[in-house]
Structure 1
Amino acid sequence: MKRINPTFNRYKKSIALIEKSNLNSLTNLKQGIKLSRECLNEFSDLVRPKNFSSKKDEITFFKYQKPYVEGRLQYFKKLHNYLLEKPVSGISKQQKFINIELNKLDSKKCKQLEFVKYYRLEENKLDHLYFLRGVDQLELFVDTSHHFKDPLFTTSRDLLVSKIIAHDLLINFYNNELEYLKNKKIRTIIEEVKPEIFNDLEWTGTKTELIELIIALNESGCFRNGNADLNRIVKVCEELFNLDLGNIRKTFDQIKSRKKDSTKFLDKLTLSLSNKLALEV
């Protein structure tokens, strides 16, 4: 069984490149599916004919290593179907489709809550029942599909762990997709209504100054009587001035931590306006 760890580490290295790639590409997903299947087949050839050197090693394999691979196989297969089925146009339609998929995942998480809790809390007191092979485990199978699995390559809960892993990966992917579509929608709206006169408008102050101004305006109720989403205002300003304001919360914390001149930019605006009014007298 010494070959299991090198096989697993080689897979993790290869699949990490796939996960960092564009997962909206069928080609990349097919490669992820291929790598996952090859690894599982190699695992099967290694595990079926031999016993593990210890129960601890067997538990490690069926609780962590095999589900890590099988979970990603399920994940890539689901994303492959998602790309084939999702609407090809219309941001609102795509958002609705993703929300339907999220609702499906949400309904599934209610099943086997006790085991899900056991797994997420990283408990181990029942690992000898959940992640060791043996005929005496058949009555513990929670997924009927297990009855068609190879008993030499299956335990009562390893497939369920795989499903948990795939579930978490899908939730993260769909949420990122929704955020991307939300920002795309904002950009589309801005492009539609943005007058040509703003095309070369440049913010020449610092990003911190602009953030200070945005927060001040928002807190004073200047946008929708104080009911506007701050992130949306930030996105509008980023598009308007063609810049990236970065982590707003971090910058705001830095503004708050100033020992003095916490409203430095606003004070500068007040002084500039006062000087201008004085000159106009």
Structure 2
Amino acid sequence: MKKTTSTFNRYKKTIAIIEKSNLKNVKTLKQGITISREYLNEFSSLVRSKSFPSKKEEITFFKYQKPYVEGRLQYFKKVHNYLLEKPVSGISKQQKYINNELNKLDSKKCKQLEFVKYYRLNEDKLDHLYFLRGIDQLELFVDTSHHFKDPLFTTSHDFLVSKIIAHDLLIKFYEKELELLKNKNFKTIIEEVKPDIFNDLQWTGTKTELIELIFALNVSGCFRNGNADIKKIVKVCEELFNLDLGNIHKTFNQIKARKKDSTKFLDKLVVSLSKEITFEA
């Protein structure tokens, strides 16, 4: 049906703006919820007023188009509830809360694992049973709430697809939240152990020189006998000297690609220290 496809394309363009916005803003989420509901109502009116030209188009609508909208409606509502219910303080409490939410999502997915596999593998051999209206076989209804849904705007599995879509979006959102909390916790630890004396400590060499030094110290076994995570060492140096070292591996590759003086900064350190030792003597 051309009208449903046109409406679907309009929704994708409109909701893309919301998804790129700050989804931790309650007003933005409410806007996403409102828009999604409006488009679902528009879909409902279109489907009631006109029949689909073919079974293929009906399957496309109930397998892809309607769940795309309804999945985002569920997603926005879940994130909205998360913002209102999550602990307001304590990084460990917030992390525990998110992990509990992730466990709930995994538990729900396991209950419909066979259909989840069917959908993710993009199979279609049972689409005529799952995504056409009027299939009166109750054993197909894995989501019992569908028994009371509008039969003109519902198939046995379209709502389950929307749940899968919402699930995937929520997983990405929660994982991003955990990563932000992890970084926030790391910065808090750095601030706690960083004495005031380091506040004005400034690295006045080049960033390339610092990266050369970091790699040299790490491969020499100076940090945890060579078992330290290079990213963590870099993060500590960035926090300590209040700078951004950028892509350290790209810079290190440039150092290795030098035709000569590949250890230019280390050689400079040796010369400077030798001069100081000689002077002191």
With the length of structure 1 as denominator, give the TM-score of the two structures. 0.88
Where do 1:126-145 residues align within 5 Å?
126-145=126-145
C-alpha contact (below 8 Å) 2:23/2:29 kept by paired residues: yes
- Specify the code of the residue in structure 2 equivalent to 1:95: Q
CA offsets 1:52-86 (integer angstroms, 9 cap, x no match): 12222222211111111111111111111111111
Measured in 1, the distance between the counterparts of 2:263 and 2:131 equals 59
For residues 196 and 109 of structure 1, do their structure 2 counterparts lie closer, same or farther at Cα, with a shift above 3 Å needed?
Answer: same
Where do 1:83-122 residues align within 5 Å?
83-122=83-122
Where do 1:25-40 residues align within 5 Å?
25-40=25-40
Structure 1: gaps spanning 5 or more residues: none
Give the total of aligned pairs.
281
The alpha carbon displacement at 1:208 in A equals 4.0
For residues 212 and 161 of structure 1, do their structure 2 counterparts lie closer, same or farther at Cα, with a shift above 3 Å needed?
Answer: farther
The residue number in structure 2 matching 1:124 is 124
Structure with bigger gyration radius: 2
CA offsets 1:157-196 (integer angstroms, 9 cap, x no match): 2111111111111111111111111111121222223223
Measured in 2, the distance between the counterparts of 1:54 and 1:256 equals 62
C-alpha contact (below 8 Å) 1:183/1:235 kept by paired residues: no
Greater alpha carbon shift after TM alignment, 44-53 vs 255-264: 255-264
Measured in 2, the distance between the counterparts of 1:59 and 1:110 equals 25
For residues 242 and 9 of structure 1, do their structure 2 counterparts lie closer, same or farther at Cα, with a shift above 3 Å needed?
Answer: farther
The alpha carbon displacement at 1:89 in A equals 0.7
- Specify the code of the residue in structure 2 equivalent to 1:124: D
C-alpha contact (below 8 Å) 1:37/1:73 kept by paired residues: yes
The residue number in structure 2 matching 1:5 is 5
Measured in 2, the distance between the counterparts of 1:64 and 1:175 equals 25
Measured in 2, the distance between the counterparts of 1:216 and 1:48 equals 70
RMSD: 2.5
The residue number in structure 1 matching 2:53 is 53
The residue number in structure 1 matching 2:63 is 63
C-alpha contact (below 8 Å) 2:129/2:135 kept by paired residues: no
Structure 2: gaps spanning 5 or more residues: none
SS at match of 1:135: coil
Measured in 1, the distance between the counterparts of 2:202 and 2:47 equals 63
- Specify the code of the residue in structure 2 equivalent to 1:201: L
The percentage of counterpart residues that share the same residue type is 81
With the length of structure 2 as denominator, give the TM-score of the two structures. 0.88
C-alpha contact (below 8 Å) 2:135/2:156 kept by paired residues: no
